[in-house]
Amino acid sequence: MSVGTYLPPWRSGRQRVRGPDEDALTMAVAAGRAADPNAQARGVVFISRNFPLIEGGNAAVLLAALGLPNETPVAEVLGGAPAVLDQIVGAASGTLVIAADDNDRVAGAAAVLTGERGAEITATGRQSRSLPLVARGDDGSSHTYSDPRLQREVGVRASLAKLNLSGAVAGVAGVPAAQIGKGVDAEDAVEEAVPSATGVIRALATAIEKQLSGMMIGIEQAAVSVAQLRSPNEVVTVTRDEVAPRAMPDFEIADGTGIPISMPAYSRAFEPKIRWEAAVFEEQTEMDTTPQFPPRLRVDASGRLVRDYRLEPLPRTGTVYTHTTVRIPVPDLPSPYSLAVVQLDNSPVRALLKVTAVPAGETKIGQAGEVVLRRIAIRAGIPDDGYAFWPGRSEKGIQA
């Protein structure tokens, strides 16, 4: 088992908020890569209540950005903390379970790669009762019935009472630990009080780090899922992609028509773009093996188009070769923003990338950083994902 978490690098006041080029999918990829850096997963489960592409399309981006084969099965599950806990305890070994949140209260993602070794977590009980304190209409509008006492007594405690729980609690997600009532020992429990999908994995990660054993409790409205965590006898890798947040800069998007999207062009470019691969041709007269990015056809010494090439992964770290900042507002893109030509490490390839996670104009020539997945733009309502350069960051997510 291994665990990965991701928090966006921005804040508004004291709360973490996603950047203008992030969404639930890009954050899910960041957490998934933290949990499974070597792309070993044999299946993926993505849990959220905020799918960027509710009509489909998330699976292809997830697999390509995580470096997993296209035939890897992907399940998209609508739910919060109880659903996430259910998926973890029920998943086969080698399943990457990813949760993502993108709302007014929580932004971030977390993932667990299940395995036969490491922490042992087994199902204990579940209750699904109806107390719809939050509902959403067909138009997307949210309706909240705000009654904390009702939530605590009729929702949380009434559901827990039906499970007759006793013993130590290792972690609680969805409500403060003090609300779970008597009969259990929650004194040392890890607490993720804000309702979310990611909270239960974050609580699990902290419980593992503290070598706690006991119940993991995921709560959402009046739904409760409980599992038993047994402290591992061996080290479980917990990778936290959680840099210190900075105040979100001001952005402006100009009115007008942006660059339209061409679906045929999108489809042709998708695999090498999201998998971050370059075309490599066999060496011949007047044609070398220099990687071509973006992948494109070449012309041989006889003037014929050469179509046969292989795709090779590109390095995900590099340094700024040169850069510029666009300060004039344009349609579709939050401005100002910076662009950088990045010299990739151990590669002749230089890539033109948008700069992310730092204020526009802050990038410096020679600055090292990492290439990360971002939502580059929304074109005609379609998210156009690609890669951006995060300066001052290593491949493990640590600020340089």
Instruction: State the CB neighbour count (10 A cutoff) for residue 143.
Output: 10
Whose CA is closest to 383, among 34, 31, 37, 56? 56
Instruction: Sort residue 392 into left (φ over 0), alpha (ψ -120 to 50) or beta.
Output: left
Domain with CATH 3.40.47.10 in the chain: 2-247
Residue 182 confidence (pLDDT) above 60:
yes
Cα dihedral 206→211→216→219 (10° resolution): -20
Instruction: Sort residue 357 into left (φ over 0), alpha (ψ -120 to 50) or beta.
Output: left
Min mean pLDDT across 6-20, 178-192, 330-344 is at: 178-192
What pLDDT, on a 0 to 100 scale, did the predictor assign at position 400? 43
Q: For residue 260, how far is the Cα from the chain centroid?
A: 27
CATH number of 2-247: 3.40.47.10
Global confidence as pTM = 0.94
Write out the two tokens for 378. 């929304």
Residues whose CB is less than 8 angstroms from the CB of residue 303 and which lie 6 or more positions away in sequence, other chains included: none
What pLDDT, on a 0 to 100 scale, did the predictor assign at position 41? 98
The two beta strands, 107-113 and 95-102, are antiparallel
Mean pLDDT of the chain: 92
> What is the C-alpha separation between 117 and 65, in angstroms, rounded?
26
No. of helices (H) and no. of strands (E), the chain: 7, 26
Domain with CATH 2.40.50.220 in the chain: 260-275+314-400
Confidence of residue 79 (pLDDT cuts 50, 70, 90): very high
* Mean pLDDT across 262-278: 92
Fold classification of 260-275+314-400 (topology level)? OB fold (Dihydrolipoamide Acetyltransferase, E2P) (2.40.50)
Residues whose CB is less than 8 angstroms from the CB of residue 350 and which lie 6 or more positions away in sequence, other chains included: 321, 341, 342, 343, 344
